[in-house]
Amino acid sequence: MASIEMRNIVKKYGDGFPAVNDVSMDIADGEFMILVGPSGCGKSTLLRMIVGLEDITSGDMVIGGNRVNDKAPRERNLSMVFQNYALYPHLSVFENIAFPLRLAKAPEDEVKRKVTEASDVLELGEHLDRKPANLSGGQRQRVAMGRAIVRDADAFLFDEPLSNLDAKLRGQMRTEISRLQRRLGITTVYVTHDQTEAMTLGDRVCVLRKGVIQQVASPRELYEQPVNLFVAGFIGSPPMNFLPATVSGATLQTPFGPIELDATRAEQVAGRELVLVGIRPEYFEDASLVDGAKRDLGTTFTAKVDVTEWLGDSQYAYIPYEAPPEVDAQLKELSRELDSDQLRTQAIVSIDSTSRIREGREAEFWLDARKIHVFDPESGQNLTRDEEAGAELTRMAAEDRESGL
Amino acid sequence: MSTREKVLWVVAGIAIVVYALFPVGWIVSLSLKSSDDIANGQFLPTALSWENYEQILVGDAAELFLPALRNSFGIVLIATFIACVLSMFAAYAIARLDFTGKKLILSTALAVAIFPVISIVTPLFNLWRQIGLYDTWPGLIIPYLSLTLPLSIWTMSAFFREIPWEMEQAAQVDGATTWQAFRKVIVPLATPGVFTTAIIAFFIAWNDFAYGISLTSTSASRPVPAALGLFSGASQFESPNGPIAAAAVIVTIPVVVLVLIFQRRIVAGLTNGAVKG
């Protein structure tokens, strides 16, 4: 087991384009770190630099206290699960799992014992004699994991290991990976573009954008105290709504009417004209279903509903709105970067599944103003981020992890 | 498929098989005719006769044929082996590594392959005589390599490209050196490719006539196709068609056996299940 430290890691390709730019990060011993971001953000490149399949242009990669920049992959003692599993098709499941041990010239009885142990953990016992070609996707995935856990590696690296599985299996394997990591307590770096995986698996999550770290924090901190528009828009599903607003004193004028800010927030946005208000879908509610005591903590407004989606346990309503051209371009750019390519400016609001709000009609909504964030449209910075509250959330996550080990 | 269609397919299939195998059948039938029977004007021999086989295996022509058979096997197997090993490394480099001149190597290989053999034979004849390679095994192995290598490199690099990069990277992460990754992962995966290449290379060298007839003069190194051309009848009025047919049948046997043995190994799809399929 080992910690992984990265100091100002840069990766430039032949054309000079920095795929990873000045990344510094500490991954503690036994920690589960997620690298997440839209496609092309450099997360896989970063992982491949840790394992040694990609050269590091500059910076230091330190694993377990040793600088490994110039070491070959086999000298780093890491194990990796590839996106397409990369099983050896000419070897049986047993030999696939035993492969690293065979290379290390382990004695036969040790190979047998360790492979049996690993296959028990992954419930592969009855498939040991089969060839990978005869296994299902989930079984292949487990063989790949078996090959990773069979030797005492310093860290596990996962490169989008679940992206080739169907949705149901993905959910099962996700909990499987989480349980395995907790049980073995081995430092893990996990690359994904799926934010459910990022939120559920990671002790901490590193959000990357164009090769630059945006924020490294616990999933809760990312969700509740994002540093900028990008993180706020990337984390959460459906994504956070960004409404253009003009500031007048302690009031924000939005397309959905005025929103009153509390004193601290009013101070943080003072002196600005145009801002973006970030509101998560669940901060909205069907006004008729909000009880009186809660009602006064937010604002109500009426709007015309474009589409509703009833999912059984929840319900989403889509409310289109007009954005001024200067913010509109900004929002379009952001949604393109987040791989969502939203065509029109609309708010997605989550309402109770019993709500009788129907599409095409005017309806009254209630908005919880306590948790909203205000962003600078130019730089994208979160103006109302509470550093201390965020750090507290991550500290709590770290404590949970330590007590769990 | 309706019955009508099925019948059509079967009929068409039989027609093609007959068309392709008719000359082979003819040669076999010819080889079984005695010298008096050759001009009998019918497809089948009047009476089965092993006269021609006797003649080339133990009779007059044995002196010419048997050493030639030995030469052919020796020279062609050595040439095939060298071509396979060389093209394996070359193809691996072409498929995996980025180096300047990669395109040049591939296009040169192609250019060599399309160069007509007959235009190189004369200069080679003179050169070989000067440096003492004329009428020796290496004197044929080297030109055979020039025939087989380009094609081998092309087929083999196509096979190597099919093998996912991740296989090798996974092996390296698992603790393998580059050489171990090549030997334990890439080579086993490339086996069907290696066998296919070997068979193609074997055929090309086995069927060569131009080099064989021009660069040899005695039974020290003369291969079978060249020896066949030198068969003569019992007298100058008799054509050696019977013995030639018998020799042709014998020469075809190793090729057929080779294909039958390796047929199962050539079956592609070994990489199925390596990655998400």
Q: Give A-chain residues touching B276 at CB under 8 angstroms.
A: 84-85, 137, 140, 164
Q: How far apart are CA A94 and CA A81, in angstroms?
A: 17
Domain that includes residue A207, residue range: 4-224
Q: Is the pLDDT of residue A5 over 90?
A: yes
Does A196 share its domain with A325? no
Residues 252-271 of B with CB under 8 A from A: 270-271
Structurally, how many domains does chain A consist of? 2
Q: Are residues A95 and A150 in the same domain?
A: yes
Query: Do A46 and A163 sit in the same domain of this protein?
Result: yes
Q: Do A88 and B167 touch (CB under 8 A)?
A: yes
Is residue B27 assigned to a domain? no
Question: What's the pLDDT score for residue B171?
Answer: 92
Same domain? A130 vs A173 = yes
* Tally of domains in chain B: 1
DSSP letters for A381-400 = BBTT--HHHHHHHHHHHHHH
Tally Cβ neighbours within 10 Å of residue B80: 25
Structural domain contains residue A152: yes
Shortest Cα distance, chain A CAs vs residue B158, angstroms: 18
User: H or E stretch including B122?
Assistant: helix B117-131
Taking the Cβ of residue B173 and every Cβ of chain A, the question of whether any pair is shorter than 8 Å is answered with: yes
- Contacting residues of B for A74, CB less than 8 Å apart: 172-177
User: Which CATH number is B97's domain given?
Assistant: 1.10.3720.10
User: A175 and A43, same structural domain?
Assistant: yes
CA A199, distance to chain mean position in Å, is 6
| B273 in any annotated domain | no
The residue length of chain A stands at: 405
Whether A233 maps to a domain, the answer reads: no
Per-residue tokens: A48: 């491949």
Beta carbons of A323 and A390 less than 8 angstroms apart: no
Least confident of A97-101, A331-335, A348-352, B269-273: B269-273
Claim to verify: residue A207 and residue A94 sit in the same structural domain: yes
Does one domain contain both A197 and A277?
no
Task: Kindly indicate the confidence band of residue B203, based on its pLDDT and cuts at 50, 70 and 90.
Answer: confident
Q: Which tens digit of pLDDT belongs to each residue from A208-257?
A: 999 999 999 999 999 999 999 999 988 888 889 988 888 888 888 888 88
Q: Which domain holds residue B135?
A: 62-230
Calpha distance A25→A217 (Å, rounded): 11
Chain A residues lying within 8 Å of B277, measured CB to CB? 133
Q: Is the peptide bond before A238 cis (omega within 30 degrees of 0)?
A: yes
Amino acid making up residue A136: S
Given pLDDT bands bounded at 50, 70 and 90, which one contains residue A94? Answer: very high
State the average pLDDT over residues A281-303.
86
Name A243's bridge partners: A277
pLDDT, tens digit, for every residue of A102-125? 998 989 999 999 999 989 888 888
- For residues A71 and A215, membership in a common domain is answered with yes
How confident is the model over A153-205, as pLDDT tens digits? 899 999 998 888 888 888 888 998 998 888 888 999 999 988 888 999 989 99
Q: Are residues A261 and A213 in the same domain?
A: no
Please tell me whether residues A257 and A355 are part of one structural domain. yes
In a domain, A391, yes or no: no
By residue count, chain B amounts to: 277
Residues 6+ apart with CB under 8 A from B6: none
pLDDT at residue B266 tops 80: no
Asked whether residue B15 is domain-assigned, the answer is no
For the cut 50, the answer to whether the pLDDT of residue A68 exceeds it is yes
pLDDT tens by residue, A303-356: 889 999 999 888 999 998 888 887 788 888 888 887 776 667 888 999 988 888
| More confident of the two residues B192 and A275 | A275
Query: What ipTM was estimated for this complex?
Result: 0.81
Burial A51-76 (b: 16+ CB within 10 A, else e): bbbbebeebebbbbeeebeeeebbeb
Q: What CATH number does residue A41 fall under?
A: 3.40.50.300
Q: Residue A127 domain-assigned?
A: yes
pLDDT tens readout for residues A363-391: 889 988 888 899 988 888 898 888 888 88
Which of A111-115's residues contact partners 24+ apart within 8 Å by CB, and which partners?
A114/A150, A114/A151, A115/A146, A115/A150
Mean model confidence pLDDT for chain A: 88
Kindly report, residue by residue over B226-239, the tens digit of the pLDDT: 888 887 766 666 77
pLDDT value of position A67: 92
Report the residue from A79, A86, A90 with minimal CB separation from B275.
A86
Query: A56 and A167, same structural domain?
Result: yes
Chain A positions in Cβ-Cβ contact with residue B275 (cut-off 8 Å): 84-87
Same domain, yes or no: A152 and A254: no
Note whether A89 contacts B166, CB cutoff 8 Å.
no
Higher pLDDT: B272 or B127? It is B127
pLDDT bucket at B13, cuts 50 / 70 / 90: very high
- DSSP secondary structure string for all residues of B124-164: HHHHHHHHT-TTSHHHHHHHHHHHHHHHHHHHHHHHHHHS-
